[in-house]
Amino acid sequence: MTEIALTVQQTARPTGFPAPEHFRFAESPVPEPAPGSALVENLLWSVDPYHREMMDGDFALDAPLEGRTLGRVVASRTPALPEGSVVFHRQGWRTHAVVRPEEARRLPHHPGVPLSAYLSVLGGTGLTAYVALTRVARLREGEDVFVSGAAGGVGTAAGRFARLLGAGRVIGSAGTAEKVTYLTEQVGYDTAFDYRTAAAADLLAQAAPTGIDVFLDNVGGDQLGAAFGALRERGRVVRIGTISQYNTPDAPRVVFNHADVVEKSLRIEGFLVKDHRDAQEELYDFAVPHLRSGALVADETVVEGFERIVEAFLLMLRGGNTGKILVRAV
């Protein structure tokens, strides 16, 4: 174990896209665990779109940033977190963290499942997709699903889960031709389109000429407006995120025919995955057998080295990843 701990701190509030100068790496001695706590050496970090929202005020300046992290307990002063155990916690963006039992969750051991999956398809990313489909949309077999931001972590998981849950046609959008190809050739989407090439309503009409039943919205903006027009009677919109506005808060408001909500008996619901942590074991029961059989694959972009965590975050914000982006210790 190294003698120096590193933390990433936010130094200023960005306007628009963040830049490297909005962060700094701070050195300190590796902390000692107090009675009732344990020292964790972190192994894998998640950088997520919601971090951009938190930079506007939720993250304290000049303090370590929050984030989902997996690490190994290297020194413990509590029997609840024995040395050598691998845990999940939210004190990310640092190489070492001191956690109490209520702040960490020991990972289950599922033979044949890679550790990174617990931050991607089995982690908060996969849980978001699973809850969106099963608890919020209440997807029924044979229903057609449209997912915006389909090449990201939640989008790839949603596409694969929808297929395993018996969806009819699965349609996705992404920001490059290469990602569109990945969605149809690797993830299992029936069709996908590059939303940058034409008006969203026209692209969706071509991809789903007979309409859709469920829309999982990671993006907001024009694609949300287009989906309202494509939804069939009793269609559902699940609002997961608004990536299109994270760096452009003054973007135009979504335009859609509000009468459709009444006339087609549509349902619009958003959620926060933190309110559905009771679904974690349910996700394991659903996804782990498919991971073991090869029917489910974890889509991941892995950046090597904690010193590149800011780079990974900025890469994700600009759409440079396919699947869930993770940072791995070297």
pLDDT at 68: 94
- What mean pLDDT is predicted for residues 149-176? 97
CATH of 125-274, one of 3.50.50.60, 3.40.50.970, 3.40.50.720, 3.40.50.300: 3.40.50.720
Q: Is the pLDDT of residue 45 over 90?
A: yes
* CATH numeric code, 4-120+298-328: 3.90.180.10
- Are the CB atoms for 97 and 106 separated by under 8 Å? no
How many of the other CB atoms lie within 10 Å of CB of 77?
Answer: 14
CA dihedral 271, 287, 234, 225 (to 10 degrees): 60
Domain ranges of the chain: 4-120+298-328, 125-274
**Mean pLDDT, the chain, as a whole number?**
94
Residue 101 DSSP symbol: G
Question: 156-170, 232-246, 315-329: which has the minimum mean pLDDT?
Answer: 232-246
Q: Is the pLDDT of residue 271 over 90?
A: yes
Residue 59 tokens, joined: 């993250």
| Residues 193, 206: Cα–Cα separation, whole Å | 9
Q: Using alpha carbons only, what angle is made at residue 298 by residues 1 and 122, rounded to the nearest 5 degrees?
A: 70
Q: How large a percentage of the chain has pLDDT more than 70?
A: 96
DSSP labels for 310-323?
Answer: HHHHHHHHTT--SB
Instruction: Round the CA-based radius of gyration of the chain to a whole number and report it.
Output: 20
pLDDT at 242: 78
Task: Place 250 in a pLDDT band, splitting at 50, 70 and 90.
Answer: low
**Model confidence, pTM:** 0.91
- Strands 145-147, 4-10: parallel, antiparallel or unpaired by DSSP? unpaired
pLDDT at 257: 78
Q: In what order do the strands lie in the sheet with 212-217?
A: 191-194, 170-174, 145-147, 212-217, 231-239, 267-270
Beta strands in 64-208 (DSSP E): 69-76, 86-89, 96-99, 104-106, 145-147, 170-174, 191-194
pLDDT at 3: 83
- What mean pLDDT is predicted for residues 171-182? 97
- What mean pLDDT is predicted for residues 43-58? 91
Three-state DSSP class for residue 41: strand
- Are the CB atoms for 160 and 122 separated by under 8 Å? no
How many angstroms from the chain centroid is the CA of residue 64? 21
> Which tens digit of pLDDT belongs to each residue from 108-160?
989 999 999 999 999 999 999 999 999 999 999 999 999 999 999 999 999 99
